[in-house]
């Protein structure tokens, strides 16, 4: 990358350029806000329980300690803001931070995978947003500009993307064409219909019915079902909060995801970076013909603390849609992918003994451009890996598998979440698969993948 930005006219308010600049002055407030809420949640109940709290005139020691912590935290936040500065120059996004231990971070623009804009709740009140750079080499934690003004963030993002693609600096962001929008009225029932929620509900109902017949057993089952229900209820609330008002749109460089109730996220998944797509049809969804699409993007050497956050980035392509819509969307991100197995894609019938619970869904096949592997016991999930993205192919067979003359073929990608695993194939067939998949992957690496075709009309829901 040798794109040198032209000199920026001084005093242009929206311009983000090669001069060092600070983050927004209110950044410590937003960052500190979370800590404050955390401390209050921990501190208030413990202080209120103390006997000496209501005595007039003097503060108990614990309150002083908590206030001291908050003040220290606040000062730390302000100092961290004071010493942090960033700029885009020399083909890098450069961030310098750290008071005692100076840290100078350079992210080569050419290695940028995606640029996300995230607005947490408090940030939305204050009109601030975070720009998060996802690059191939490191986790999402490092390339963070938290926070910029909500107006500035898209400009920074457009600029980073333009430079990452080797375009002119002033190139505006490509226009995003909306593809699908998930109705919140559909999202909630769909989340509730996932088996980890509906399962406990059914058990609870059965337990209530059983109380009449066998009170002790029924009550015990009810108790444990309610516990599970509370946990999964929290999971539903979180997923609903994350995928609220979900819109997927398509721009020239990839798909855009806009989602979130309290915290809005605007994410980009570049087409070329998708390592694998998974079509998931949970057990109870199949009656309604719903499906979910998930993606896996390349993200290596993610440090432990960044791991949780990295997993949250762009994992869902569409949280719920009709099967037709999901397949249509799949065709948008992976042209010519057909997740319906050909008739001979199943494992040999003797594998039924080896994998009795998942035999009915096991299937694996490959075409000119993709490898498909379907697995699942109750939930049907099909992983689709482009042959261009195949990193290595592996044949595995354990002693039990050998006694059935079957073997597993694993297709590895640079994604972190799944590998396409063709389980319980006939031994000779597995061998052929290894040979053909590695051969086709080799050939497909020589031909650049075609760009997605012009959009076809969205199929109606239902």
Partner 1 sequence: MSTVVTQQIVGPGALKRLSPRFWLARQTQLAIFWGPLFIASIVLALIVNVSAGYLLPVVIVLLAAVAWLVERGRYRSWGYAEREDDLIVTRGLMFRHVSVVPYGRMQFIDVTAGPIDRAFGLATVQLHTAAAATDARIPGLVRPDADALRDRLALVGEAKATGL
Binding stretches for partner 1 (CB under 8 A): 136, 273, 275, 298, 300, 389-399, 402, 410, 412-416, 419, 427, 431, 434-435, 438, 441-442, 445
* Residue 22 vs 396, nearer CB to partner 1: 396
Distance CA 147, CA 152 (A): 10
Pick from 301, 266, 313, 297: nearest CA to 119: 266
* Residue 141 vs 410, nearer CB to partner 1: 410
Pick from 131, 88, 121, 127: nearest CA to 107: 88
Whether the link from the prior residue into 147 is cis, omega within 30° of 0, is yes
* Residue 87 vs 436, nearer CB to partner 1: 436
* Residue 163 vs 437, nearer CB to partner 1: 437
Q: Evaluate whether 271 touches 452 at the Cβ level (below 8 Å).
A: yes
In the bound complex, what is the minimum distance in angstroms from residue 446's beta carbon to partner 1? 9
In the bound complex, what is the minimum distance in angstroms from residue 416's beta carbon to partner 1? 7
* Residue 27 vs 381, nearer CB to partner 1: 381
Distance CA 197, CA 231 (A): 9
Q: Evaluate whether 261 touches 237 at the Cβ level (below 8 Å).
A: no
In the bound complex, what is the minimum distance in angstroms from residue 372's beta carbon to partner 1? 18
In the bound complex, what is the minimum distance in angstroms from residue 425's beta carbon to partner 1? 13
CA angle 84, 87, 93 (to 5 degrees): 100
- 356: number of Cβ within 10 Å: 10
In the bound complex, what is the minimum distance in angstroms from residue 136's beta carbon to partner 1? 6
In the bound complex, what is the minimum distance in angstroms from residue 344's beta carbon to partner 1? 21
Pick from 386, 364, 254, 261: nearest CA to 319: 261
* Residue 186 vs 302, nearer CB to partner 1: 302
Distance CA 74, CA 65 (A): 14
């Amino acid at each position: 990358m040798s794109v040198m930005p032209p000199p920026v006219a001084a005093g242009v308010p929206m311009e983000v350029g090669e001069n060092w600049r600070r983050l927004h002055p209110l950044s410590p407030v937003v960052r500190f806000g979370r800590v404050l809420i955390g401390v209050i949640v921990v501190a208030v109940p413990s202080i209120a329980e103390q006997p000496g709290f209501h005595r007039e005139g003097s503060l108990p020691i614990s309150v002083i300690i908590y206030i001291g912590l908050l003040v220290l935290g606040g000062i730390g936040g302000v100092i961290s803001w004071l010493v942090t500065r960033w700029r885009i120059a020399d083909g890098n996004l450069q961030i310098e931070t750290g008071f005692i231990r100076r840290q100078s971070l350079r992210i080569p623009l050419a290695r940028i995978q995606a640029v996300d804009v995230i607005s947490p709740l408090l940030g939305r009140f204050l009109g601030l947003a975070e720009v998060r750079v996802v690059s191939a080499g490191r986790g999402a934690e490092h390339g963070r500009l938290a926070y910029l003004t909500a107006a500035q963030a898209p400009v920074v993002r457009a600029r980073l993307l333009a430079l990452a693609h080797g375009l002119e600096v002033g190139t505006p962001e490509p226009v995003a064409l909306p593809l699908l929008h998930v109705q919140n009225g559909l999202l909630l029932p769909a989340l509730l219909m996932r088996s980890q929620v509906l399962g406990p509900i059914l058990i609870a109902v059965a337990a209530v019915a059983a109380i009449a017949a066998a009170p002790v057993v029924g009550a015990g089952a009810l108790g444990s079902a309610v516990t599970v229900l509370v946990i999964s209820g929290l999971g539903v609330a979180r997923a609903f909060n994350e995928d609220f008002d979900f819109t997927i749109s398509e721009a020239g460089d990839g798909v855009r995801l806009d989602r979130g109730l309290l915290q809005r996220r605007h994410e980009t998944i570049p087409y070329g970076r998708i390592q694998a797509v998974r079509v998931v049809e949970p057990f109870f969804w199949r009656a309604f013909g719903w499906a979910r699409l998930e993606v896996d993007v390349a993200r290596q050497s993610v440090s432990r603390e960044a791991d949780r956050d990295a997993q949250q980035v762009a994992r869902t392509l569409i949280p719920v849609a009709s099967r037709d819509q999901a397949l249509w969307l799949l065709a948008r991100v992976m042209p010519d992918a057909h997740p319906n197995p050909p008739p001979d894609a199943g494992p040999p019938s003797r594998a039924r003994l080896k994998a009795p619970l998942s035999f009915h869904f096991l299937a694996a096949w490959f075409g000119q451009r993709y490898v498909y592997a379907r697995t699942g016991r109750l939930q049907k999930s099909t992983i689709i890996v482009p042959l261009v993205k195949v990193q290595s192919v592996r044949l595995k067979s354990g002693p039990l598998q050998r006694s059935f003359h079957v073997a597993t073929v694993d297709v590895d990608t640079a994604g972190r979440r799944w590998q396409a695993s063709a389980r319980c194939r006939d031994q000779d067939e597995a061998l052929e698969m290894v040979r053909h998949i590695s051969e086709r992957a080799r050939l497909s690496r020589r031909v650049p993948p075609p760009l997605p075709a012009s959009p076809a009309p969205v199929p109606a829901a239902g």
